[in-house]
Chains A and B, each alone.
Chain A
Amino acid sequence: MEHIVIIGNGISGVTLARHIRKLSDKKITIISAETEYFFSRTALMYIYMGHMKFEHTQPYENWFWKKNRIELLKAYVKNIDTDAKQLHFEDGGNLNYDKLVIATGSKPNKFGWPGQDLEGVMGMYHKQDLEKLETYAPNKEVCNRAVIVGGGLIGIELAEMLNSRSIPVTFLVRENSFWNGVLPEGESQMINNHIKNHHIDLRLSTNLKEIKSDDNGRVKSVIIEETGEEIPCNVVGLTAGVTPNIDFIKSSKIELGRGVKVNRFLETNIPDVYAIGDCAEQHEAIGNRRPIEAVWYTGRMMGETLAQTICGNRLAYKPGHWFNSAKFLDIEYQTYGWVFRRKGRPDYEQHFHWKHEDDTKCITVAYHKNTNEFLGINTFGIRMRHETFDTWLTEKRTIDYVINHLSEANFDPEFYKHFEAEIVTAYNNQLQTA
Chain B
Amino acid sequence: MSLAKPDALGISTTQKIALAGGVIGLLILALALFNTNFPNKAIFLTLALGLIITGIIVYSRDAYLSKLEGIKNDGAWFKSISSRGVWGWIVGVILTTFYIVLYFFPKYLGLGTDGSENTGLISLFDPLSKLLSGRPASQWFVYGTLYTVAILAFGYKFILKYRHNRYQQIRTISVMFFQLGFAFLIPEFMYVMNNDLPYYDLKSIWPLNYYIFDEWSVKGFLSNGNIGLALLLFGIISIFVITPILTYKYGKRWYCSWVCGCGGLAETAGDPFRHLSSKKMSAWKFERWLIHLVLVFSVVMTTAMVYTYLGYDSNDFWLTRGVFIALVIGFLSLVFTVVMLFKRHELGKDAKYGAIGLFAVILILVTMHFTGTTDHVFYVKAGALRSAYGIYIGSIFSGVIGTGFYPILGSRSWCRFGCPMAAILGFQQRLFSKFRITTNGGQCISCGNCSNSCEMGIDVRHYAQKGENIVRSSCVGCGICSAVCPRGVLKLENDSMTGRINPTDILLGNDVDLMDLVNQK
Contact = CB atoms under 8 A, between A and B. Distances in A.
B73 A321 contact: no
B487 A52 contact: no
Interface string A354-385: 00000000000000000000000000000111
Interface residues of A, number: 65
Interface in B480-515: 482-484, 486-488, 491-493, 505-514
Interface in A196-219: 197-198
B442 A413 contact: no
A294 interface: no
Given A42-B445, A52-B77, A385 B440 contact: yes
A166 B486 CA distance: 21
A107 to B, nearest CB: 19
A35 to B, nearest CB: 10
Contacts of B507: 297, 300-301, 304
B1 A54 contact: yes
Interface in B441-463: 441-443, 445-449, 451-452, 461-462
Given A52-B77, A320-B511, A386 B440 contact: yes
Interface stretch (A70-78, A134-142, A238-246): A134-142
Most B-side CB within 10 Å, residue of A50, A296, A316: A50
A43 B280 contact: no
B487 A413 contact: no
Nearest to B484: A51
B77 A138 contact: no
A325 B77 contact: no
A384 B441 CA distance: 11
Interface stretch (B162-170, B226-234, B389-397, B399-407): B162-170
Contacts of A130: 3
Contacts, number: 185
Contacts of B76: 50-51
B167 A414 contact: yes
Interface string A384-415: 11110010000000000000000000011111
Contacts of A51: 71, 73-74, 76-77, 449, 452, 484
B452 A415 contact: no
B508 A390 contact: yes
A342 interface: no
A390 B77 CA distance: 38
B70 interface: yes
B68 interface: yes
A111 interface: no
Contacts of B69: 330
Interface string A287-327: 00000000011001100110010000001111111010111
A65 interface: no
A315 B508 contact: no
Interface in A17-66: 19, 22, 40, 42-43, 46-47, 49-54, 56-59, 61
Nearest to A40: B446
State which size class the interface on B falls in: 35 or more
Given A43-B449, A59-B446, A386 B68 contact: no
Interface in B46-92: 68-71, 73-79
Interface in A318-340: 318-321, 323, 325-327, 329-330, 332, 334
Contact of B465 (A59, A198, A323): A59
Given A323-B443, A383-B491, A135 B510 contact: no
B509 A50 contact: no
A131 B3 contact: yes
Contact of A134 (B3, B447, B506, B517): B3
B505 A19 contact: yes
Contact of A42 (B68, B446, B483): B446
Interface string B1-27: 101101001100000000000000000
A131 B1 CA distance: 9
A413 B77 contact: no
B447 A46 contact: yes
Nearest to B483: A413
Contacts of B441: 323, 385-387, 390
Interface string A118-148: 0000000000001100110011000000000
A165 interface: yes
B146 interface: no
Contacts of A50: 9, 73-79
B6 to A, nearest CB: 5
A252 interface: no
B281 interface: yes
B445 A305 contact: no
A176 interface: no
> 9 tightest CB-CB pairs across the interface, nearest first?
A386-B441, A330-B70, A383-B488, A43-B447, A54-B1, A50-B75, A318-B511, A415-B166, A327-B486
27 contacts: A43-B449, A46-B449, A50-B77, A51-B73, A51-B77, A51-B484, A59-B462, A130-B3, A134-B3, A138-B6, A297-B443, A297-B509, A304-B510, A315-B514, A320-B509, A321-B509, A327-B487, A330-B70, A384-B488, A390-B508, A411-B438, A411-B488, A411-B491, A413-B482, A413-B483, A416-B167, A417-B166
